Structure 1
Amino acid sequence: MANLLGKVGIITGGAGGIGKETASQFLQAGAKVVLVDLMDEPLQLAKSELQSQGDVHTVQADVSKEADVQNYVKETIDKFGTIDIFFNNAGIEGKVAPITEQSIEDFDKVIAVNVRGVFLGLKYVLPIMMKQRSGSIINTSSVAGLNGSPFVSPYIASKHAVTGLTKTAALEAASANVRVNSIHPSPVNTRMMRSLEEGYNPGQAEEAKKGFAQGIPLGRYGESDDIAKLVLFLASDESSFITGAQYRIDGGMGAQ
């Protein structure tokens, strides 16, 4: 396993499936972890599940609000003194509907969380890492950030934006030895996919799941553990010459 001994990591969307599993792997590798999420109850539940593995701190925040982002960064610095790893992971799926039936309100909500939230995280974490001349940022995009898909246009747009933000941030931070990469998962067995399955096939979500899985060459959804292992690698010094990259973790979808 990668060595994160003495490192401090922030994970947004920290109470969700991928966030929580990544936190577990970070803790096992020796890091201290700050979990950030919108709702306090899931955060506290995640903390109770993880605290036996190491030092876990939680901050309730809406990642689309600048003051909340400034606060989770400040709380991390106040608590642990630095930020070495930033898993910029919070995201929402939005409504399943054609472009012509997407409301401005739903579009704006997805963009606010998935794009503004990632941008604000970069805006306030990068100066700390660049000043100390070290750090790794991993932004969660999606296969939807590299390809099109019908009926989820706000999500597609948002995840393509994360790809562009990643490349730009990587170029801006490279001279300070700070790395920025994005990950691009296929469908993963989490709450988000349960919502999308129901959205695509109301009342027959299990059939939708089978259809999605058939579209993945390896024949199954990813698991949170699969994603966390990649994030752990990108967070660690084992990936010290990797920046500005888009890492597909998609069971072969990108090869089609």
Structure 2
Amino acid sequence: MHEHISSAYDRDLEGLITLIMKMGGLVEEAILNAAKALENRDLELAEQVRAGDKAIDALELEINDVAARIIALRAPVSKDLRSILIVLRLAASLERIGDYSKNIAKRTSAIADLSPVEGTGFTLRRMAREVQGMLKDTLDAYIRGDADLAEDVRQRDQDVDQMYNALFRELLTFMMEDPRHITGCMHLHFMAKNIERMGDLTTNMAEQIIYLVTGEMPDEARLKSDRTAYVSEVE
């Protein structure tokens, strides 16, 4: 009887993992497409990102429903329960990353008719590719139960922060040198902040995977390189 229940739980969990991986794939695509739409001023692609967010939201709801049913029917405890709860946390983070991608797509439409700020589209796309790579490795770490890979993702968030800080200063310079760029630069800054937050959420996901695998949250405080709140002038 116990073996039968355990087998049924395993099948339920596999179904849940399939859903989270499908959701993760859609979110990865949204990140890259949002950045590509921005760099190329591709309003059609930006609209696809906005429309595609509905599928991401629907998957989160489905994951929540499936997880609730598993908890109600199987009454998992200990590590089994932890596995279910972490799936819910991963889904919530993926949904937020999808929202940030949608926000970038919205702002792409807002700046389509403004003069481009040289080099910024490429930098934002580079940031987005880094975050997408972090997310891919986070999902791989989840499937493989690889705490070392998750820790590697956790450390790479510093690279995203550093790119964000450099772009922040660059945008400040553009605005100070030519006030006509202020509106566009403000939109670009919010986009960059969206990507930086995606990196934070991906890092939080990696920490949850470390906890799932080892039973402990990482001991060392993660270094944060985003210091824009303290910047008062361009260096």
TM over 0.5: no
Larger Rg: 2
Whose strand proportion is higher, 1 or 2? Answer: 1
**Structure whose residues are more often helix by fraction:** 2
TM-score (norm 1): 0.30
